[in-house]
Chain A
């Protein structure tokens, strides 16, 4: 049964009065990024109001591929387990040129990884799972059919005006997070614009219900005999739904391309060529054009921008929703710390700059994939075809065909990242800490991120007592509670992981790794290095203006 979203009624509510205290946070947009921001804040004790212009979660598969890092983010906001039980994990892919397989890739995945590299699930189903969690969360109020049309702000607060079925409505908030998508009303209201590149190539994307024994993997066909000249992508989703993407001709009319009989003709030819004799039904279709565009800054006054409201990345390599969920993960711990008075406002500038840099990291990868998938000129088209023709005899060319699937971005250049004085092995400061399986001293097996929780954590390749001493000093400088994990020994309040996880993460004896709530390594110390410079760094970067 193809997912059909429920429609939600508008619920009347009253505007903020002038003498009432402003709300802590208003989130604009109840797409997956807005819902993730709301859940991330609420799980940290912050009350949130969400305004959504529409009346339902999205319809259609849209962003179907979630990275293992996104599942980790979704775990932190309490929906990862349910989502993971529905989504289809995968780690391999194949690309074909005409009738010949020219690339087979296998993303890194071993028995100590908590999750497969990728998961397929319809965006609409993922949103519904998140919405169920939002509706069960008393700290979140969600108002449908409330379209933000005006945003004004001063040094202390933001005023949001929304158009609703009951007339105009106003709300005052200390902070606004704009997650209202590619056509962001908040962006328009503030007069800020996305800058960058839009590509010519367009893809029809379609969901079909089809019973097939093909495996869950990414398949791509360039110039297939079924549809000469086209590029076709195929992904399995849960419940016998398959996603098919195919490029349309440069001059082809979008409306014509989306006519049901035209979509059916392309898909019928391709499935027949694959040897299909099962019936199938077309469930949903849309059209897509690639963009690499972003705001110059993701923080404007007291308004943070996240997801498609802040940045667009080409679909190839699936960095759109995955980067939006990263935005949510990074913003929510920082915003919660600011709202609770545990960090000063400058932290919001730091994380906004980190996410702008992350967009650039994503674009650097996605643009290569896009140039290959939708060559922007005759030159790129000629070389793409030549590379496909030569890839079998020249393995080095296969790397250019690889779609470079999304991976977590780093914050190595962030003002918050503490750069060590000594060389280190394993994750560098700013890198995402891999989620590796750990068996603790008491026999519990869990991922390292589940063990460390959703706050700051210290992972120490030391004795537990030594880790506890370092943790005690660090916790004085950090928002929220610090979780301490140590390699050996036994001390109250310290989880003992055993030495294997330290070896697995590439840590040397005596190493200390300070992990941020979003799983990025804030800083590292080697054996014998003083804690003092790191403590000063934290004071300077988090609380220098004395809000604690």
Chain B
């Protein structure tokens, strides 16, 4: 089994893999890590409160980028996050 989560590796350990954060043993990111991210971020957002939420997210993004991402990776992730912004689209679902 190679999906033991030991935390994302730094950019220097995973060059050119901006879209697939790896565990230290090179396996895919485990669902348990996604759950931990979801829960810890949710609770931190609640602690930050309505007015502190945006500044908190900015600080968190800067720290994450400085500690774990190259400039190129960070720019790519900004683009991905912008694509997921809250925009209403007309229904185009296949039925």
* A, B in one complex: yes
Question: Which positions in A face B, CB cutoff 8 Å?
Answer: 96, 98-101, 225, 228, 273-275, 368, 371, 375, 377-380, 382-383, 385-387, 389-390, 393, 396-397, 399-400
**Chain A residues within 8 Å of B81, by CB:** 390
- Can you name 25 A-B residue pairings with CB atoms under 8 Å? A96-B93, A98-B89, A98-B91, A99-B92, A99-B93, A100-B93, A273-B91, A371-B42, A377-B42, A378-B50, A379-B44, A379-B47, A379-B48, A380-B42, A382-B45, A383-B45, A389-B84, A390-B81, A393-B80, A393-B83, A393-B84, A396-B30, A399-B31, A400-B31, A400-B35
Inter-chain contact B42/A275, CB cutoff 8 Å: no
> Is the beta-carbon distance between A275 and B95 smaller than 8 angstroms?
yes
Q: For A100, list chain B residues within 8 Å (CB).
A: 93
**Minimal Cβ-Cβ distance residue in B for A372:** B38
Residues of A with C-beta under 8 A to B35:
368, 399-400
By secondary structure, the B interface counts as helix
Chain B residues, CB < 8 A from A273: 91
Contact across chains for A379 and B34 when beta carbons are under 8 A apart: no
Q: Which residues of A contact B90 (CB under 8 A)?
A: 99, 225
Q: Name B's A-contacting residues (CB within 8 A).
A: 19, 28-31, 33-35, 38-39, 41-48, 50, 53, 80-81, 83-86, 88-93, 95
With A386-B84, A396-B34 in contact, do A377 and B92 touch (Cβ < 8 Å)? no
Of the listed residues A96, A371, A378, the one surrounded by the most CB atoms of chain B closer than 10 A to its CB is: A378
Given the contacts A368-B35, A399-B31, A399-B35, A383 and B42 also touching, CB distance less than 8 Å: yes
Secondary structure type dominating chain A contacts = helix
Given A378-B50, A386-B84, A397-B34: A99 touches B89 (CB 8 Å cut-off) = yes
Please determine whether A379 and B45 come into contact, CB atoms closer than 8 angstroms.
yes
Q: How long is the Cα–Cα vector from A375 to B35 in the complex, in angstroms?
A: 14
Q: Which A residues touch B38, using CB under 8 A?
A: 383, 387, 400
Shortest beta-carbon distance, A363 to chain B, in Å? 15
Q: A377-B42, A378-B50, A380-B42 in contact; A399/B92 too (CB < 8 A)?
A: no
Taking the closest CB of chain B, its distance from the CB of A497, in whole angstroms, is 30
Contacts of B33 in A (CB 8 A): 396
Q: In the complex, what's the smallest C-beta–C-beta distance from A338 to chain B, in angstroms?
A: 41
Q: Find out whether the CB atom of A390 lies under 8 angstroms from the CB atom of B93.
A: no
B44 to chain A, nearest CB (A): 7
- The closest CB in chain A to the CB of B48 belongs to A379
Question: Contacts A380-B42, A387-B38, A390-B84 known; A396 to B89 CB distance under 8 Å?
Answer: no
Known: A387-B38, A400-B35. A101 touches B93 (CB 8 A): yes
Tell whether, in the assembled complex, residue B91 and residue A225 are in contact, meaning their CB atoms are under 8 Å apart: yes
Q: Which residues of A contact B86 (CB under 8 A)?
A: 385, 389
Bound CA–CA A452/B88 (angstroms): 57
Within the complex, the shortest CB–CB distance from B79 to chain A, in Å, comes to 11
Tell me the complex Cα distance, A368–B36, Å: 11
